[in-house]
């Protein structure tokens, strides 16, 4: 006969308290509803309608597709609910030098040949003859730059199967959408402002939070999604913050929506400015815009003027200011508090990493989910992994500012000549020598991403992997041209993004099945 373990004597987490809503809070709540709906763990989310949500992120990267699938969300319904659009990459304007532009695509360049990355063959041929832009060898880039979009079927063959995408969406609508999902899955939302945090006198662990009306909400595990202030991780526990301002100068942003232009581009555009950069994110109902800048190098008035003068349509609101300090919390998990989103750190909006880092934190928390002992080994592993992910993103973002020839302002002169963050100089040196990038073990910003930025901003390596010379040149050139022609022909058959969104939103006739074009190359 199996002995029954009482609720009081076992160590399982019985109550999860999420502090803060917004994208981070409701992503956490939806994840708990999906994976901790075990019959004994209860999840409570506390948020106040009086506290504003930053909501800087409206653009994402491809892993968000898997997150939504993990929750079992219907993609068409999700896009309709969030006014979302598809994103195939990012167009960079004026970064390497004024007047230059390049495309950072999702997916991959061409195909590996006998284990050698495509870009090595491209570099080999570019050293001998004029070559098309490397973007012409990527399905997502070719489709994106023609404003085309389609959704490949799981069984798709040919170039269409290489189409890789993410989304643009209204962050506040995404939080609302996930709230409905989480509440349907058993998460309880409590409205109220937290006025006090109750801690155990001996351990320092959190026991409860007290609301303005006197209600105390007790928990075992607390997830801090309270934004920059870090109500639990910082204000209660004094964890500390590591600033990365010496490598990332931007510390302020203004955001404003505007009316959509006629063309609905399936990519984010980021344009470098005198002391920062401006984003453009097309949604179904509006275009999101913002300027990210260094307050030490640009005034608020100049930033607002720059932002408004660069809009594609009429501004639909007044610009809203956001202050931030680039960096990360010294510990993402301290005692029984796990921080996520802005409470854990913020690098800056470039390359749309904030939502992905929330996703990383949730995935890692599930891998080392604690019991009420809160073992150091589990907590230490979580912190080590999250530190590595934040630092890797920091280095990739810093690359965009360091890899420039711009000398038109003190801002760009500093970026071009600054001491690089740990690890980045080695990456650049390996690239300069033979075009090598080592991204094994990283789920974010793979080889294509680093190649796109390094080449796009003018860092051309002196050589390439010598293994590429073992491949017959004529056969490689033929394969490269076949790839390029296949991408071009496939994109020509695809509908525009606006047409495709209309197709999948139309309930009658039924939405089309995923598109399956072409045959294998």
Confidence at residue 157, expressed as pLDDT on a 0 to 100 scale: 84
β-partners of residue 269 are: 91, 280
Domain boundary among 308, 323, 338: 323
Whether residue 440 sits in one domain with residue 371: no
Whether residue 262 sits in one domain with residue 216: no
Q: What percent of the chain has pLDDT over 70?
A: 93
Confidence at residue 514, expressed as pLDDT on a 0 to 100 scale: 57
List the structure tokens of 320: 């809203």
- The answer to whether position 364 is within a domain reads yes
Whether residue 381 sits in one domain with residue 269: no
pLDDT digits (tens, 9 = 90+) for 389-410: 999 999 999 999 999 999 999 9
pLDDT digits (tens, 9 = 90+) for 132-151: 999 999 999 999 999 999 99
Q: What domain range includes position 141? A: 85-169+405-500
Distance separating alpha carbons of residues 54 and 227, to the nearest angstrom = 8
- Mean pLDDT of the 328-350 span: 97
- The answer to whether position 4 is within a domain reads no
The verdict on pTM exceeding 0.85 is yes
Confidence at residue 454, expressed as pLDDT on a 0 to 100 scale: 97
CATH of residue 477: 3.50.50.60
Whether residue 410 sits in one domain with residue 340: no
- Residue 87: active-site member: yes
- The answer to whether position 153 is within a domain reads yes
Domain boundary among 323, 339, 371: 323
Whether residue 491 sits in one domain with residue 470: yes
Give yes or no for residue 246 having a pLDDT over 60. yes
Distance separating alpha carbons of residues 398 and 249, to the nearest angstrom = 10
- The answer to whether position 10 is within a domain reads no
Calculate the average pLDDT of the chain.
93
Give yes or no for residue 158 having a pLDDT over 90. no
Give yes or no for residue 4 having a pLDDT over 70. no
- The answer to whether position 136 is within a domain reads yes
Give yes or no for residue 226 having a pLDDT over 70. yes
- The answer to whether position 104 is within a domain reads yes
Confidence at residue 463, expressed as pLDDT on a 0 to 100 scale: 95
Confidence at residue 113, expressed as pLDDT on a 0 to 100 scale: 84
Whether residue 99 sits in one domain with residue 162: yes
- What angle, rounded to 10 degrees, do the helices at 497-505 and 75-82 form? 110
Whether residue 494 sits in one domain with residue 419: yes
- The answer to whether position 70 is within a domain reads no
- Mean pLDDT of the 470-497 span: 94
CB 333 within 8 A of CB 375: no
Whether residue 343 sits in one domain with residue 212: yes
- The answer to whether position 513 is within a domain reads no
Domain boundary among 323, 358, 375: 323
Whether residue 237 sits in one domain with residue 350: yes
- Alpha carbon dihedral 59, 65, 363, 401, in 10-degree steps, equals -30
- Mean pLDDT of the 46-63 span: 77
Tell me 329's DSSP state.
E
Distance separating alpha carbons of residues 10 and 4, to the nearest angstrom = 10
CB 251 within 8 A of CB 245: yes
Distance separating alpha carbons of residues 34 and 28, to the nearest angstrom = 10
The dihedrals phi and psi of 329, each to the nearest 5 degrees, come to -65, 140
Could you tell me whether strands 337-339 and 287-293 are parallel, antiparallel, or unpaired per DSSP bridges? unpaired
- Mean pLDDT of the 168-172 span: 95
β-partners of residue 43 are: 16
Distance separating alpha carbons of residues 146 and 491, to the nearest angstrom = 8
Confidence at residue 50, expressed as pLDDT on a 0 to 100 scale: 75
pLDDT digits (tens, 9 = 90+) for 425-467: 999 999 999 999 987 666 678 899 999 999 999 999 999 999 9
Give yes or no for residue 153 having a pLDDT over 90. no
Q: How confident is the model at residue 512 (pLDDT cuts 50, 70, 90)?
A: low
Confidence at residue 316, expressed as pLDDT on a 0 to 100 scale: 95
Determine the straight-line distance between the first and last CA of the chain, rounded to whole angstroms: 62
CA atoms within 13 A on the CB side of 451: 28
Distance separating alpha carbons of residues 98 and 307, to the nearest angstrom = 18
Whether residue 109 sits in one domain with residue 89: yes
The dihedrals phi and psi of 385, each to the nearest 5 degrees, come to -65, -45
Confidence at residue 508, expressed as pLDDT on a 0 to 100 scale: 53
Whether residue 478 sits in one domain with residue 444: yes
Which sign does the torsion angle of CA 324, 280, 354, 45 carry? positive
Whether residue 119 sits in one domain with residue 138: yes
Residues near 473 by Cβ (< 8 Å), separated by ≥ 6?
none
Measure the CA angle with vertex 288, ends 284 and 290; round to 5°. Answer: 170
pLDDT digits (tens, 9 = 90+) for 25-43: 999 999 999 999 999 999 9
Confidence at residue 511, expressed as pLDDT on a 0 to 100 scale: 53
| Total structural domains within the chain | 3
From the list 87, 148, 335, 389, the catalytic residue is 87
Q: Could you tell me which residue, 507 or 413, shows the higher pLDDT?
A: 413
Give yes or no for residue 478 having a pLDDT over 90. yes
Q: Could you tell me which residue, 1 or 263, shows the higher pLDDT?
A: 263
């Amino acid at each position: 006969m199996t002995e029954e373990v009482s609720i009081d004597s076992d160590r399982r987490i019985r109550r999860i308290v999420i502090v803060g809503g917004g994208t981070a809070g409701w992503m956490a709540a939806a994840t708990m509803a999906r994976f901790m709906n075990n019959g004994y763990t209860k999840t409570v989310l506390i948020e106040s309608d009086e506290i504003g949500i930053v909501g800087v992120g409206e653009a994402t990267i491809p892993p968000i597709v898997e997150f939504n699938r993990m929750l079992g969300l219907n993609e068409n319904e999700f896009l309709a609910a969030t006014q979302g659009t598809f994103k195939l990459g990012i167009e960079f304007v004026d970064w390497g030098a004024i007047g230059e532009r390049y495309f950072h695509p999702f997916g991959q360049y061409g195909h590996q040949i006998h284990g050698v990355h495509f870009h090595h063959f491209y570099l080999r041929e570019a050293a001998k003859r004029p070559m098309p832009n490397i973007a012409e060898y990527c399905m997502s880039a070719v489709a994106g730059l023609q404003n085309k979009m389609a959704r490949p079927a799981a069984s798709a063959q040919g170039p269409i199967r290489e189409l890789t995408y993410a989304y643009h969406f209204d962050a506040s609508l995404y939080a609302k959408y996930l709230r409905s999902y989480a509440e349907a899955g058993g998460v309880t939302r409590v409205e109220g402002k937290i006025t006090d945090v109750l801690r155990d006198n001996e351990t320092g662990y959190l026991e409860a939070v007290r609301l303005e009306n006197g209600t105390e909400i007790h928990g075992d595990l607390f997830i801090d999604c309270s934004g920059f202030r870090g109500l639990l991780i910082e204000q209660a526990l004094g964890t500390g913050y590591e600033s990365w301002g010496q490598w990332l100068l931007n510390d302020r942003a203004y955001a404003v929506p505007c009316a959509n232009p006629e063309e609905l581009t399936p990519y984010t555009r980021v344009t470098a400015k005198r002391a920062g950069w401006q984003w453009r994110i097309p949604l179904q109902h509006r275009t999101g815009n913002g300027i990210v800048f260094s307050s030490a190098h640009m005034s608020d008035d100049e930033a607002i003027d720059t932002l408004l003068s660069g809009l594609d349509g009429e501004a639909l609101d007044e610009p809203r200011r956001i202050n931030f300090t680039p960096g990360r919390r010294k510990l993402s998990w301290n005692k029984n508090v796990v921080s996520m989103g802005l409470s854990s750190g913020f690098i800056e909006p470039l390359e749309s990493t904030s939502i992905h880092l929330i996703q990383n934190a949730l995935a890692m928390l599930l891998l080392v989910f604690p019991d009420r002992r809160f073992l150091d080994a589990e907590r230490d592993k979580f912190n080590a992994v999250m530190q590595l992910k934040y630092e890797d993103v920091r280095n990739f973002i810093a690359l965009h500012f360091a890899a420039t020839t711009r000398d038109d302002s003190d801002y760009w002169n500093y970026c071009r000549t600054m001491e690089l963050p740990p690890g980045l100089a080695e990456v650049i040196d390996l690239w300069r020598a033979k075009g090598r990038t080592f991204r094994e073990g990283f789920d974010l910003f793979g080889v294509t991403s680093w190649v796109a930025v390094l080449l796009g901003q003018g860092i051309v390596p002196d050589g390439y992997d010598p293994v590429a010379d073992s491949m017959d040149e004529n056969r490689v050139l033929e394969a490269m041209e076949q790839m390029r022609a296949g991408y071009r022909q496939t994109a020509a058959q695809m509908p525009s993004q606006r047409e495709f969104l209309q197709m999948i939103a139309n309930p009658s006739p039924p939405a089309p099945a995923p598109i399956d074009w072409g045959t294998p190359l």
